[in-house]
Every structure is written in structure tokens, then in C-alpha cells.
Amino acid sequence: MSDLRRTLPAVHVLLEQDGVRALAERVPRSVVAEAVRAELAAARTKPAHAPTTEEAWTAAIAARLAASERATLQPVLNATGVVLHTNLGRAPLAEAAIDAMADVARGFASLEYDLVTGARGSRHVHCAGLLRELTGAEDALIVNNCAAALVLALNTVADGREAIVSRGELVEIGGSFRVPDIMARSGARLVEVGTTNRTHAEDYRRACTAQTGAIVSVHRSNFTVDGFVAAVPTRALAELADAAGVPLLYDFGSGLMLDLAPWGLRGEPTARDAVAAGASLVVMSGDKLLGGPQAGIVLGRAELVDAMRRNPLARALRVDKLTLAALQATLRLYREPSRAVRDIPALAMLTASAESLQARAAALVARLPGARVGARVASTEATVGGGAFPSSRIPSCAVVLAGDAERRERALRDGALPVVGRIADGALWLDLRGIAAADDDRLLQAIVEAVR
Ligand SMILES: *Cc1c(COP(=O)(O)O)cnc(C)c1O
């Protein structure tokens, strides 16, 4: 044992220090003891950095306690310029959705209770009507996320049978979501057709056999291919599937409910387009462009959606009252599209004019304590994120902080309200596209505290 290690105080000695005893007055003693042990363990691995005085030990233990009391899941400001940032929780919720969640969270709710008949009801009714109305689908079902919806759809129609998919659509969505892996887990046998860049109707037709359970089409949501490429349009694929007597499952991902072309975002189908194209089942996410809570939304033919609902797996993938409340409230906003664009934060952020962001950035810079921050306004390009509109660049604006970018980045990340920006050209860029105008004051305060 080294001398340094031998000189480390014992746990009970540290616990008896006045400063540490004071900590135990507001935190359970067992929690303080845990912090003491962790601090001693750290001192043993890095003896050169070990505290040497009583005050230093108290301070180190207090800091460790503070860190352990801080929630790991915290609100942050998204200054990355990627609006639907998966690592930052995708879509922020509309106020109406937050209120609806809070309302049912506080007490009991008519989750599976029919208030009209006073008898047992079904959680599946809560969003289905609105989704039918908004998308034209015959029926709808909500599960945990889009990946779950895809697994459930495949398991329902193609368990032990073949699912045909183009090699150009065996994509990775990000993290641990690879379409072929998910499909394999559903019990369906994957049959790959076509090539990476070109798949033709004939490729699908030739692969259809008595073993076929479904044709699967996956929207290439997070990348584009161009050059010598060919794919079968959804409508033609739906006709082909129909002729073969098998359902077409269309994973279209984004959950886009409104055409965003007036704001320069083109090329993604809406949910209504996806249904109208004739897919038997459409699956999409609730927390991407739809702007709601994490959820997987299934739209499609009544008998297939009903079969999915009765699949025992549906029980394992179901959502709770909070998700349903938030989703229903979000969907209700879409009855009036102008209201949806205004009140659903993801849509408001994506459709805000570059001029409005410029003005906000200028106002922020003007309010920052000049020389110390060295802030300036700069034009940027933001992206949608969440694997949608992969090649769209949205004109945006950032507050750029001069000075040691790494230090600034760390300080903003460490703040009471962490701000996640991006380092480029040796400076820290805080893009306003993913920050609600109502949060500008909080952003300002976070910057002021970080540069202090
Ligand atoms: C995002 C995405 C998914 C995964 O959605 P989750 O809701 O995260 O499970 C699946 N398919 C496509 C095409 C997507 O874009």
C-alpha cells in the first residue's frame, strides 16, 4: 500500500466532520455515506488528486452529493440547429398537450372506462377517431413507437411467412434501429429484392409466392439516393400487393400531417398521402414531424388494424394515459392547420422566418455583456432532424460566442439550464432554430452565467 493510500481517512472519521454532519441534516445519512465512500474510492484511484484538508474533503463530498442529487434527465435548450434532435428527446410538446397530460396525470382517467355507458371501455378509442378524420384511414392504433408499430404489423400479418423488401430500403434509422434486424424479430422471414440503387415492380412480383405474408416499403427518411436509381412508387406497389393478395406495410417514419412546402420543406409525403397511396398499413412516429409524444401510430385497413389490436404483442407495446392524452391534444390542433403550425412547437420552429430568428439573435447579442462574451450574430443552416427532409437546409441564425469554444461549450452544458450548441470554426454556435422565442430570456441568462 502506498503512503498516500494509507493516509486516507476512514469513512466514519469523514462522517463525523462538522461539515459532513451538516450535509446529513438535509440528505439521508445513508446517501451522505455513499458519497463519502465514492469520494474515498476516487481518492484511492487518483491519490495525487485526493483532498488533503478537512475543508477540502467536505467540499468534495458536498460536490459529489450535489451531482448525485441532480436528475440525469433534465430540460435543456437545443441550440444545435437540428430541430427534432433524437438525443434531445425529439419534439417538444404543445401547451395543449402538456395541459392534457397534467390533467390525467394528477388523478384517475377514463382510460379504459366508457363514460357514456358506464362500462368497461378501450384505451384504443382515444386517438383513433381523430386519426381517421385527419388522415382518411379506416382505423388507427397507437403503440410505443414506430419501431414497435413495425414489429407488431409484421408479426400480425407475416409471422412465419415471408416479408418482401427492397435492398435499397434495408436502412439504419439510427441508434439500434436497423430495418432488417427489426423485421427478423417480428417472426417474418426477410426476402430481399432488387439492388441498392434500383428495384423494379418485376422484382417484387417475382418474389411473391404462397409463402408471402407482406410487402414492406420503408421510407428512406434519413438519406437520399440519386444518380442511376429506380424505386416503385407506393401507389404502384400497393396495386401490385393487391394483385398478389398480400398487404403492403408502409413505414413512412416522419408522421408529417401537413404539407410544409409553403415553408420550403418539400419531398416528404404526409400521413394522408401515405394512406391515399393505398398502403394497407402505414406506420409512423408520434414525436417527429407530427410534434407529439413518443408513440407509434398505425393507420390502415380496419380488419388489419383490428387484427393488430387483438395480437397479444399489442399488450406489451401499448401506451399509457399520458401518451394518449398528449397525442389526442396534439392531434386536435391539426383540425385547424394554421393553429397547428402556430401551437405545435416543432412546426412553429421549422416554419419561423429567418428574419425573425435574425431579429431575436440581434436582440440577444445586444443584451449580452459586450466584450467579455464577444458575441455576434451569424447566418446558419438548420436541419429538420428526426430522419426527415434529410437534404433540406433551413436558413437559420445563431449567436456565436468568441473565446475558448471548448470551455464555453462545457460551461453552457454544466449550467442550471444546460444549453447544447455546436462548435465550428473554433467558436461556439448557438442556433436559434430549435429554441422557442419564449425561451430567449432563459438562453440569455444561461449564457451570462456560463461566461461569468
Ligand atoms: C424514425 C423512423 C423509425 C423509428 O421510429 P421510432 O418512433 O423512433 O421507433 C422507423 N422508420 C422510419 C422510416 C423512421 O424514419
pLDDT digits (tens, 9 = 90+) for 171-226: 887 767 788 888 889 999 999 999 989 999 999 999 999 999 999 999 887 778 88
- Where residue 49 falls among pLDDT bands split at 50, 70, 90? confident
Task: Tell how far the Cα of 96 is from the centroid of ligand 1, in angstroms.
Answer: 25
219 CB less than 6 Å from ligand 1? yes
Question: For residue 227, what pLDDT is reported?
Answer: 87
| Closest residue CA from atom 13 of ligand 1 | 253
255 CB less than 6 Å from ligand 1? no
For 302-358, the pLDDT digits (tens) are 999 999 999 999 999 999 999 999 999 999 999 999 999 999 999 999 999 999 999
Task: Tell how far the Cα of 173 is from the centroid of ligand 1, in angstroms.
Answer: 6
For 28-40, the pLDDT digits (tens) are 999 999 999 999 9
For 343-384, the pLDDT digits (tens) are 999 999 999 999 999 999 999 999 998 766 789 999 999 999
269 CB less than 6 Å from ligand 1? no
CATH of domain 94-337: 3.40.640.10
Question: For residue 1, what pLDDT is reported?
Answer: 44
Task: Tell how far the Cα of 407 is from the centroid of ligand 1, in angstroms.
Answer: 35
How does the average pLDDT of the chain come out, rounded? 93
Strand order in the sheet with 248-253: 139-143, 296-300, 281-285, 248-253, 212-218, 162-166, 189-193
Task: Tell how far the Cα of 284 is from the centroid of ligand 1, in angstroms.
Answer: 7
385 CB less than 6 Å from ligand 1? no
Question: For residue 3, what pLDDT is reported?
Answer: 53
Question: For residue 7, what pLDDT is reported?
Answer: 80
Question: For residue 179, what pLDDT is reported?
Answer: 85
Check pLDDT > 60 for residue 390.
yes
Question: For residue 37, what pLDDT is reported?
Answer: 94
Check pLDDT > 70 for residue 415.
yes
Instruction: Please report the beta strands in 88-186, taking only residues with DSSP state E, as ranges in sequence order.
Output: 113-114, 119-120, 139-143, 162-166, 172-174, 177-178
- Where residue 71 falls among pLDDT bands split at 50, 70, 90? confident
Q: CB-based contacts of 451: which residues, under 8 Å, 6+ apart?
A: 369, 372, 373, 401, 403, 408, 411
For the chain, domain boundaries? 4-69, 77-87+348-451, 94-337
**CA 82 and chain centroid, separation:** 11
Check pLDDT > 60 for residue 4.
no
| Closest residue CA from atom 6 of ligand 1 | 146
Domain 77-87+348-451, what fold?
A: Aspartate Aminotransferase, domain 1 (3.90.1150)
| Closest residue CA from atom 2 of ligand 1 | 253
Question: For residue 323, what pLDDT is reported?
Answer: 98
